[in-house]
Amino acid sequence: MSVELSRRFRFEAAHRLPTLPPEHKCHRLHGHSFEVEVTVSGEVDPSTGWFVDYKIITEAVKPLIEELDHRYLNEIEGLENPTSENLAAWLWRALEQRLPGLASISVSETPRSRCVYRGGAVPRTSGGACDDDL
């Protein structure tokens, strides 16, 4: 039996999207209550009745969340343009060797918007998603 397991994490951080035009609101410094969901997939072990302990997911992700929490994301190496897309890809690169069965990373900046990344190339855009959460 194949399953997917997901674990959610939250952190607070500030960022700006420097590639957007100066008049765009997301070009200015602002913050979010980010939510990250990490999903792994694989086969259930018939002897244990599970695929992986959620603790394994938490142990792999927690140091990354601590690195991001209450930070200015633009100052973190690899996140100079910290769009949701780039943040999801950054997390993927950090986790892909540590977390067997990694299937997807979801990043939400607001309750109404999210980016889901499943590995591979990040599409090139003018500046990334910016939610006009009014």
26 is catalytic: yes
Cα distance between residue 88 and residue 106, in whole Å = 7
Backbone angles phi, psi at 102, to 5 degrees: -55, 125
Which residue is catalytic, options 15, 26, 32, 115?
A: 26
Contact 9, 38 (CB under 8 A): yes
**Catalytic option among 15, 32, 109, 115:** 109
The answer to whether residue 70 is catalytic is yes
Yes or no: say if 40 and 5 are a contact pair by the CB < 8 Å rule. Answer: yes
Of the candidates 70, 75, 80, 96, the residue annotated as catalytic is 70
Q: Which residue has the tokens 């890809």?
A: 89
Question: Is residue 32 annotated as a catalytic residue, yes or no?
Answer: no
Asked if 19 contacts 126 with a C-beta cutoff of 8 angstroms, the reply is yes
> Tokens standing for 40?
């792994």
The residues that are catalytic are 26, 70, 109
